[in-house]
Structure 1
């Protein structure tokens, strides 16, 4: 279902992560633009990105969500929060599992 009222906010750390990883991974910027356009149009992360809640209380970002980029070919994820009441996706971090969780 289309829902054009959603928006995405980008934390400073996320933007720094994008700058860092864009130098290492070809196609990252293109994929980010594509997923952002989809979110703004439909108000959700496509299932093929495997969005899921982070539940391990021993690791950072518990209670937030993550999804996988680049078809899982590279270990790169986005950590985000979905604030339904305000129709906002807040992108907080982008990085590898080992970088973000250990």
Structure 2
């Protein structure tokens, strides 16, 4: 079993922080009756790898925790991400993962 490269961990950390912050902004907008961030945007952010931050925000901020369809979508993002991560690790693709190479 291979370990996750540091760059991949940074990728998930940055997206998780972004997701948590986005959930917090949306929660505040809901409290102030202002324009909200779409659920689709929140789900896409989760699907791209921000799901750890989204789950943490959902629990700590109590945001989007009651809407069943959103919870199902979030857990689907977790399962899809986990399956892809397991497959990439098993295939050895993550052993050479580098954010610097990926971004440029």
Same fold (TM over 0.5): no
Query: If each structure's strand is expressed as a fraction of its own residues, which one has the higher value?
Result: 1
Q: TM-score, normalised to structure 2's length? A: 0.31
Query: If each structure's helix is expressed as a fraction of its own residues, which one has the higher value?
Result: 2
Q: TM-score, normalised to structure 1's length? A: 0.31
Which has more radius of gyration?
A: 2
